[in-house]
Structure 1
Amino acid sequence: MATAVPAPKPNVHAHTRYWVVPAIRAIVALAAGAIITFTRDAHTATFGLIVFGAFAIVDGLATGILSALLAGRRVTRTLFAVQGAIGVIAGVLALVLSGSGLGLFLYLVTVWAALTGFLELYNGIRERSRDAAARDWLITGAMTAVLALVLLFAPADAILAIGLFGAWAVIVGVFQAIGAATLRSAAHTPSRRAESGS
């Protein structure tokens, strides 16, 4: 019986503090969406690559590093580390090659969205009965994968492509902010119950 007691500790740690990850990701996504929405003459390939590059690097670092520290299971942490690395690589390429035109923007964002969307969707599916954040991973992953499909079949137009990325960033940012608040509230519920029972 004594060996069963330590097992819940990693999961409790993940649930009590993991809300920080979607909160930071929400801020990054909303910032990218706001910059695209409110910047005049923003819909050029160079501008799109710079905004996407900065977003992908910061989001990738937040996803990879913070999930490695706060997520529950080892496989989950590994998958998020891979997802974060993909974001950082895509972001660095976007910034280094920011003058390469619309073709590179479409290619980078589509590949990034397909790979990271699939990984987050997979994490959500495999953890749906074990982790409170799994539903959010599933939905965010699905929305990101949809972005990849839309960009793949959309006309090669800078205004449309960058606008689609900006719209995705706003929607995902709002969703992750709500998810962060929900996870934070759920994490504090057991402690309130414990305090009231003592």
Structure 2
Amino acid sequence: MRVLAILGRGAAVALAIAVTGCASSDASFGERQELANMPARLMVPATRPATLIGTFSKHCLETPSDNAARTALLRASDYVPMGGWSGGTRRFVVADLRPMVILSETGRTCAVQAAARSGQTNAIAAEIARTWPQARPLAPSAAYEAAWETAPGQAEVVALLRNPRGPGQNEITLALMRR
């Protein structure tokens, strides 16, 4: 317990995540060290709106839905995995102010997550209108703050979710979900 007090809460959380994810993860020893040294506040950072949108575009829209390709791109972009697959998802983080990237095991969902910061909601609405001009809003739901079908009859939805009690506190998630 004395070690945890010396390390601080953030380092202890990162260390616990790194250690528990080792068995089912393909993370290298170096990646596990990098994760263990990452402050917890940077795992879900307060990301600038442009960075949130840019990361979403790069890792969720411009990359094939093949997880191997997405994982390779994430690693090439300095992201490290937070362990292996857990509950059908895998998370990747980086020690700067870019958001966490979450992939689904099926490859049908990709999301970015950050702590809420001013301007993100408006930036997301503008990006939806720019990227998918035919997008139509879906009916309100308790599952999301807002969601759009990207085009009529398209089996693809973009959703904005909020988690006021997440580890990053007041988290915002932008997700692309393909049916």
- Pairwise same-fold verdict (TM > 0.5): no
- Which protein, 1 or 2, shows the higher relative CO under an 8 Å CA cutoff with sep ≥ 6? 1
- TM-score, normalisation: structure 1: 0.25
Report which of the two has the higher share of helix: 1
